[in-house]
Amino acid sequence: MRTALQCQNGSILEGGGFHIRGACLSPEWHSLRAAWEGQFSLHWLFPQVDESDIPIAEDCFGDQFLLRGGHVLQLSGETGQIKDTGNGWEEFVESVHADPVEFLQLHWLERFRNEGGVLSPGSLISVYPPFVAKECVNPSLRSIPALELRSALADFARQIQDVEDGQKIKITVRR
């Protein structure tokens, strides 16, 4: 990973669908250090993330990819749940490139663009209702600053952490 960052200091791939953070201090949305240690650090926002986890990448919906013990883990932004992808970094990146549409749910990004949406660097796509809701059939998609979405997802994940599958919740949208 260190070698990759020395060659290319992070990148945005798949038309904005996948963001590998850079070894830099700014901009904050791109900074590996900010995601690891800063005000918006993932271990501070999501209790399931260990302080030693390396928050190396994210998808365009705010799901995070962490390095832990040589394995890539995926943190669901909406639920805060972590699952092991079963891959090391190189194998993980190969999996992303092999089928990005399926792996990263890029059909939603394509729909967003077809509806006139623009995903600029530093922005992610907010989904309403959230993907975890059974009502999420034809969600509203909008671009918002990445750090804002990361905080909102962490807050949502905290609020639903004890909700059982199938249980109803009420979502109040504040603007």
Q: pLDDT tens, position by position, for the chain (175 residues)?
A: 555 554 566 888 888 999 999 988 889 999 999 999 978 899 999 999 999 999 999 999 999 999 999 999 999 999 999 999 999 999 998 999 999 998 888 999 999 999 999 999 999 999 998 888 878 788 999 999 999 999 999 998 998 887 777 767 767 766 6
pTM across the whole model: 0.89
Q: List alpha helices for 38-163, DSSP H.
A: 42-45, 89-98, 100-103, 106-114, 146-160
- β pairing state of 82-84 and 64-68: unpaired
CA distances from 34 to 12, 57, 115, 156 (A): 17, 12, 32, 21
Residue found by looking up tokens 């650090």 in the block: 41
Note the pLDDT of residue 91. 93
